[in-house]
Chains A and B, each alone.
Chain A
Amino acid sequence: MNKALVVLCSVAYLALLFGIAGWIERRKLSGKSIPGKNMIYPLSLAVYCTGWTYYGSVGHASLHGMQFLSIYLGPLICCALFVPVIQKILRICRTQRINSVADFISTRYGKNFSLGVIVTLCYIFGVIPYIALQLKAISDSFHVITGMPGYARAAFWHDDSFYITILLALFVIVFGTRKVDVLERHEGLVGAIAFESVIKLVAFLIAGGFITYGIFGGFKDLFAKANAAGLQHLFIMDQQASGYSTWMSMILVSMMAVVLLPRQFQVLIVENKQERQLRRAIWLFPLYLFAINIFVMPIAVGGILTFGSNAGADTFVISLPMHYGMSALSLLVYIGGFSAATGMIMVETIALATMVSNHLILPPLLSFRNSSGNKKPLTRTVLMARRGSIIFIFVLAFGYDKLIAPYFSLVSIGLISMAAVTQLAPAMIGGLYWKNASRKGAIFGILTGFIIWFYTLILPSVVNAGLMDKSITQLGPWGIGWLRPQALFGLNDLELLPHSVFWSLFFNVLSYAGVSIYSRLNAQEVYTAEIFTGIFTHTATNERRAIWKGSADMKDVVAMVANFIGQERAENLINAYALRHRILVNQEDADPRMVSFAERILSGVIGSASARFMISSITKEEDIGIDEVLSIVRESQQVLELNKELKKKSIELTRATDLLTTANRQLLEMDGMKDEFLNTVTHELRTPLTSIRALSEILYDNPEMEEEQRVHYLDGIIKETERLTRLITEVLNLERYESGRQKLRLGAVDIASLIQQVIEALKPLAKEQGAALELSMPNAMFIVQCDAEMIYQVLYNLISNALKFVPAANGRVHVILREAYTELQIWVEDNGRGIDPEIHELIFDKFFQARNQTLQKPVGSGLGLAICKRIIEMHEGRIWVESEKGKGARFAFSLPVN
């Protein structure tokens, strides 16, 4: 294809990206919303798929089969399982205004300078090759599509990738360093990235579709042909152990890389605007990964079948359409790959540049300015530092691409990078959850891991490329066999990657944990550890906390911030904070909380270590001892504890109040019951008195009354007097029982004989009622410990009641003595009207029949059964009734026997 056409298309595409980014930023400024903005965040995550995905995967698949999938399984696992971790990181970065991994780790371990430097250097070593890989992918694809051979060692100004590099650098500088954003967001850039994610997916799908369905007859056809050609080994996982270990290590490093690669951290964490954007991304991103990988294997297989070998498999995705004369398609694919590569380059560079400028360039620059007393605005300085870093990175990448990359395959470069950033994982993850992790531990861990990474991965590759003497891999350094870089300590079953990952992580974690356990934390470390690990519990209190002691002039603080982000924005932010926390802005002495806030703003711009430095330069600080830090930290913990205690106490209080209310109610009820009782008693006393008086008066006033009638009236007077007497006696009796004054006089009582006594005494009444009175009992002697008089009374009550209840004719009362396990039961059965089951319980209440006279009024008061109940209860027995309406009643009580 015509070279000019390809170049034109490339430039046009970049212009399109420019346009989109610019359009987005203009719309943001004018306050309008962007269509499809909910998709931007999830799609931007797809910057994970770079030229490696486009070209490297196919190449890898053609050699190692399905193994290429493993670097997508890592992100999948991350999305499925580790969202809480990501959420924690998100929260921390937002509240602490952290804009890079270097800043994260540096801040976490006490806002430490050296950590920031170390991490940034690690990234440069680890990620520059990855950027170079993209440049290589672009030039490789360029050469395939234009049909021109690569200029491996020509002068660089003849090299087309040089010009593309320059163009890209320009793009990045323009859209990445427009202004100094406090939160480091680049909306236009991210929008452009989302767009290019779509482009690269579409292009790959079209190409894949064409190859699978256009050139071949679909998946089945392709794989059948592959089997026929003896390519089955590509479709199964490697049988040997080394195959599994490579899979595992690839999955592991890709799991770390999807968060820790600078571009990933940038789009995932820094560019995140709202935590809930994560929700959509969790399923959309894996979906994207799945879609873009569908056709990888078909393309690989199709290429091998078409070209007869897997040489040049990396660029099958372009060479295949070209082979079949589909130049438009191959141009589209080229643009797709170009898109993938440039997307990666842009974001990675910005992220890397932020770290380089904040942790390598600015610190010495700022301290120099400070000491030289330069007070000019720093906004420009910061931007210049950024731009300088970007150019620096591009230069490095370009150089690496031209000098070193030709010796490595695309995929291995990518994996090497991922293994490098994995060395930061222990310090990062440990920092999230382990309060005792120390700065020293982190430094040791990262350095150890990095060194071993370099030794076991970079060194052998360099040797294999022929740039170094072979003796170190064959015999080991200084001839020490078990220190050989590809078989450390005798572990020689593993391939290069798993071997390196294993040893580097092993020693990394070992030194990280080991040193942390034995090192003491300083005040700052305790503070930052507390914030990071407890971010979800402390988020609310974080803003209010002032872990800073000293004095500062408010004017100076505002000026310092304005220095970096401009006067207007500084004032807006500070005033907003003051409003939220009710701090007076006008006073001379800056509120410590305000100083902390200012420091946080600055760290968003220049990194926390530099921010710390700058703030301390304008304030008179007092050393805040570790005890103070601990006490402040403990204070907030105490507040939380107190809150919990308070809640508990308040619940207890409520419970106690409820109990009191219930008890009160019960007392009132009893009071009411007492009143009711008294009312009923007086009523019951009045009734017979009324009869007596009325009958007496009539007798007195009517001496001429007939004899029969006189006798009847006199009889009435006598009976009512008796009734009155009985009533009074029973009331007094009951009172005695109720007040507990009645004492049990226990004795050995022959129950059978007692019952017989009662029956004898009631024979006259039985005869009067015309009822039969019977007794059944077993042929044995029952001696029970009880109060004979009381039990006599109970028996008398029950049997006389029964006699009054029986029908006029064929009335029958049957008394039964029964033995039942641990008690003696006495039953009094009658064949009277029966008692409604609803009132079985109630009839033992005092005066039941007075209140609710559903029973026919017998000659007695309502107290009888109540007294019986008290007596039986005092004997620890039970008394109850079984009955139904119309079917007689069976009263029973029990006395326990030992």
Chain B
Amino acid sequence: MQKILVVDDDPYILMSLEFLMKKAGYEVMIARDGTEALELINNRKPALILLDIMMPDVDGYAICAYVKESPKLKDIKIVFISAKTKEADIEKGIRLGASRYISKPFSTRDVMQQVKELLN
């Protein structure tokens, strides 16, 4: 079973995404902030990360950069899910190596669809 990591500091969003991914048949790990996220990335190496950007300690961009620069981890697929919706934000995300950038509020069906595409 493929592992997915969900990172978001809002508890309801975290809860929703966790439910969705579980329902889609993936093993789900959750992280409430960047530190937790990094720990899980290094120890459990997920196949894909649903990544919020605005987080208290380490923001999503930094985590993405970290992952993409690490030889061991750069294959992990990154999907940004963020309320930052400006052109510049999206460009930056893609430039850092993200596979997809989804804006909040998102459609749950859309998220599921995109994840399926990426992992199959």
Query: A-side interface residues toward B, CB under 8 Å?
Result: 682-683, 686-687, 689-695, 697-698, 701-702, 713, 716, 720, 853-854, 857
| Residue with the highest number of chain B CB atoms closer than 10 Å, among A687, A693, A713 | A687
CB atoms of B56 and A854 under 8 A apart: yes
CB atoms of B56 and A694 under 8 A apart: no
In Å, the complex CA distance between A341 and B108 comes to: 121
CB atoms of B105 and A689 under 8 A apart: yes
Query: Contacts of B55 on A, CB cut-off 8 Å?
Result: 853
| Residue with the highest number of chain B CB atoms closer than 10 Å, among A683, A692, A720 | A683
B54 is an interface residue with CB less than 8 A from chain A:
yes
- Other than the given A690-B10, A698-B108, A702-B19, 11 more pairs (CB < 8 A) read A683-B54, A690-B104, A690-B105, A691-B16, A694-B12, A694-B20, A695-B12, A698-B19, A702-B23, A713-B15, A853-B55
B49 is an interface residue with CB less than 8 A from chain A:
no
Question: Which residues 5-54 of B have a CB within 8 angstroms of A?
Answer: 9-10, 12-13, 15-17, 19-20, 23, 54
Given A682-B83, A694-B108, A697-B108, are A687 and B13 also a contact pair (CB < 8 Å)?
yes
CB atoms of B56 and A698 under 8 A apart: no
In Å, the complex CA distance between A698 and B107 comes to: 10
The smallest C-beta distance from B33 to any residue of chain A, in angstroms, reads 9
Query: Contacts of B16 on A, CB cut-off 8 Å?
Result: 691, 694-695, 698
B109 is an interface residue with CB less than 8 A from chain A:
yes
Query: Contacts of B68 on A, CB cut-off 8 Å?
Result: none
B66 is an interface residue with CB less than 8 A from chain A:
no
B100 is an interface residue with CB less than 8 A from chain A:
no
The smallest C-beta distance from B57 to any residue of chain A, in angstroms, reads 9
B3 is an interface residue with CB less than 8 A from chain A:
no
Closest 5 CB pairs of A and B: A694-B16, A691-B12, A686-B83, A853-B56, A690-B104
Given A683-B54, A689-B104, A702-B23, are A720 and B12 also a contact pair (CB < 8 Å)?
yes
In Å, the complex CA distance between A853 and B54 comes to: 9
CB atoms of B83 and A694 under 8 A apart: no
The smallest C-beta distance from B22 to any residue of chain A, in angstroms, reads 11
Per DSSP, are chain A's interface residues mostly helix, strand or loop, or mixed? helix
Across the interface, name the chain A residue whose C-beta is closest to B81: A690
CB atoms of A687 and B83 under 8 A apart: yes
CB atoms of B83 and A690 under 8 A apart: yes
Query: Contacts of B105 on A, CB cut-off 8 Å?
Result: 686, 689-690, 692-694
Query: Contacts of B15 on A, CB cut-off 8 Å?
Result: 695, 713, 716
Choose one: A689, A692, A698, A853; the contact of B9 (CB below 8 Å): A853
CB atoms of B13 and A694 under 8 A apart: yes
CB atoms of A698 and B83 under 8 A apart: no
21 A-B residue pairs with Cβ-Cβ distance under 8 Å, sorted by A, are A682-B83, A683-B54, A683-B84, A686-B85, A687-B10, A687-B13, A689-B104, A689-B105, A690-B10, A690-B83, A690-B106, A691-B16, A694-B17, A695-B16, A698-B16, A698-B108, A701-B109, A716-B15, A853-B9, A853-B56, A857-B9
Query: Contacts of B109 on A, CB cut-off 8 Å?
Result: 697, 701
Query: Contacts of A702 on B, CB cut-off 8 Å?
Result: 19, 23
In Å, the complex CA distance between A697 and B105 comes to: 12
CB atoms of A694 and B9 under 8 A apart: no
CB atoms of B20 and A698 under 8 A apart: yes
The smallest C-beta distance from A501 to any residue of chain B, in angstroms, reads 94
In Å, the complex CA distance between A693 and B16 comes to: 10
| Residue with the highest number of chain A CB atoms closer than 10 Å, among B23, B54, B83 | B83
The smallest C-beta distance from A882 to any residue of chain B, in angstroms, reads 24
Across the interface, name the chain B residue whose C-beta is closest to A709: B19
Query: Contacts of A682 on B, CB cut-off 8 Å?
Result: 83
In Å, the complex CA distance between A702 and B22 comes to: 13
In Å, the complex CA distance between A853 and B104 comes to: 19
The smallest C-beta distance from A781 to any residue of chain B, in angstroms, reads 46
Choose one: A690, A697, A853, A854; the contact of B13 (CB below 8 Å): A690
CB atoms of B23 and A691 under 8 A apart: no
Question: Which residues 79-109 of B have a CB within 8 angstroms of A?
Answer: 83-85, 104-109
Query: Contacts of B85 on A, CB cut-off 8 Å?
Result: 686
In Å, the complex CA distance between A853 and B56 comes to: 5
Query: Contacts of A695 on B, CB cut-off 8 Å?
Result: 12, 15-16
The smallest C-beta distance from B16 to any residue of chain A, in angstroms, reads 4
Query: Contacts of B56 on A, CB cut-off 8 Å?
Result: 853-854
Given A682-B83, A687-B83, are A701 and B13 also a contact pair (CB < 8 Å)?
no
In Å, the complex CA distance between A370 and B115 comes to: 118
Query: Contacts of A720 on B, CB cut-off 8 Å?
Result: 12
Query: Contacts of A689 on B, CB cut-off 8 Å?
Result: 104-105
Choose one: B9, B19, B83; the contact of A683 (CB below 8 Å): B83
In Å, the complex CA distance between A713 and B13 comes to: 11
The smallest C-beta distance from B26 to any residue of chain A, in angstroms, reads 16
Query: Contacts of B104 on A, CB cut-off 8 Å?
Result: 686-687, 689-690
Query: Contacts of A716 on B, CB cut-off 8 Å?
Result: 12, 15
Given A691-B16, A694-B12, A853-B56, are A701 and B108 also a contact pair (CB < 8 Å)?
yes
CB atoms of B107 and A691 under 8 A apart: no
The smallest C-beta distance from A102 to any residue of chain B, in angstroms, reads 88
The smallest C-beta distance from B83 to any residue of chain A, in angstroms, reads 4
In Å, the complex CA distance between A624 and B54 comes to: 87
The smallest C-beta distance from B11 to any residue of chain A, in angstroms, reads 8
Across the interface, name the chain B residue whose C-beta is closest to A720: B12
Across the interface, name the chain B residue whose C-beta is closest to A691: B12
The smallest C-beta distance from B88 to any residue of chain A, in angstroms, reads 11
In Å, the complex CA distance between A694 and B23 comes to: 14
The smallest C-beta distance from A534 to any residue of chain B, in angstroms, reads 67
Across the interface, name the chain B residue whose C-beta is closest to A856: B56
In Å, the complex CA distance between A799 and B84 comes to: 32
Across the interface, name the chain A residue whose C-beta is closest to B15: A716
In Å, the complex CA distance between A757 and B44 comes to: 53
In Å, the complex CA distance between A713 and B12 comes to: 8
Contact with A along B52-82 (1 / 0, CB 8 A): 0011100000000000000000000000000
Query: Contacts of A853 on B, CB cut-off 8 Å?
Result: 9, 55-56
Query: Contacts of B108 on A, CB cut-off 8 Å?
Result: 693-694, 697-698, 701
Query: Contacts of A691 on B, CB cut-off 8 Å?
Result: 10, 12-13, 16
The smallest C-beta distance from A386 to any residue of chain B, in angstroms, reads 93
The smallest C-beta distance from B60 to any residue of chain A, in angstroms, reads 13
Query: Contacts of B12 on A, CB cut-off 8 Å?
Result: 691, 694-695, 716, 720
Across the interface, name the chain B residue whose C-beta is closest to A686: B83
The smallest C-beta distance from A695 to any residue of chain B, in angstroms, reads 6
| Residue with the highest number of chain B CB atoms closer than 10 Å, among A682, A690, A692, A693 | A690
The smallest C-beta distance from B65 to any residue of chain A, in angstroms, reads 20
The smallest C-beta distance from A679 to any residue of chain B, in angstroms, reads 8
Query: Contacts of B9 on A, CB cut-off 8 Å?
Result: 853, 857
In Å, the complex CA distance between A694 and B11 comes to: 12
The smallest C-beta distance from B6 to any residue of chain A, in angstroms, reads 12
Choose one: A692, A697, A713, A854; the contact of B107 (CB below 8 Å): A697
Across the interface, name the chain A residue whose C-beta is closest to B33: A853
In Å, the complex CA distance between A687 and B103 comes to: 11
Across the interface, name the chain A residue whose C-beta is closest to B23: A702
In Å, the complex CA distance between A695 and B16 comes to: 6
Across the interface, name the chain B residue whose C-beta is closest to A694: B16
Query: Contacts of A683 on B, CB cut-off 8 Å?
Result: 54, 83-84
Query: Contacts of B13 on A, CB cut-off 8 Å?
Result: 687, 690-691, 694
In Å, the complex CA distance between A439 and B42 comes to: 103
In Å, the complex CA distance between A68 and B14 comes to: 110
The smallest C-beta distance from A85 to any residue of chain B, in angstroms, reads 75
Across the interface, name the chain B residue whose C-beta is closest to A857: B9
The smallest C-beta distance from B90 to any residue of chain A, in angstroms, reads 15
In Å, the complex CA distance between A613 and B15 comes to: 113
Query: Contacts of A686 on B, CB cut-off 8 Å?
Result: 83, 85, 104-105
CB atoms of B106 and A693 under 8 A apart: yes
In Å, the complex CA distance between A720 and B16 comes to: 13
Query: Contacts of B20 on A, CB cut-off 8 Å?
Result: 694, 698
In Å, the complex CA distance between A854 and B33 comes to: 12
In Å, the complex CA distance between A713 and B15 comes to: 9
In Å, the complex CA distance between A701 and B15 comes to: 15
In Å, the complex CA distance between A683 and B10 comes to: 13
Across the interface, name the chain B residue whose C-beta is closest to A716: B12
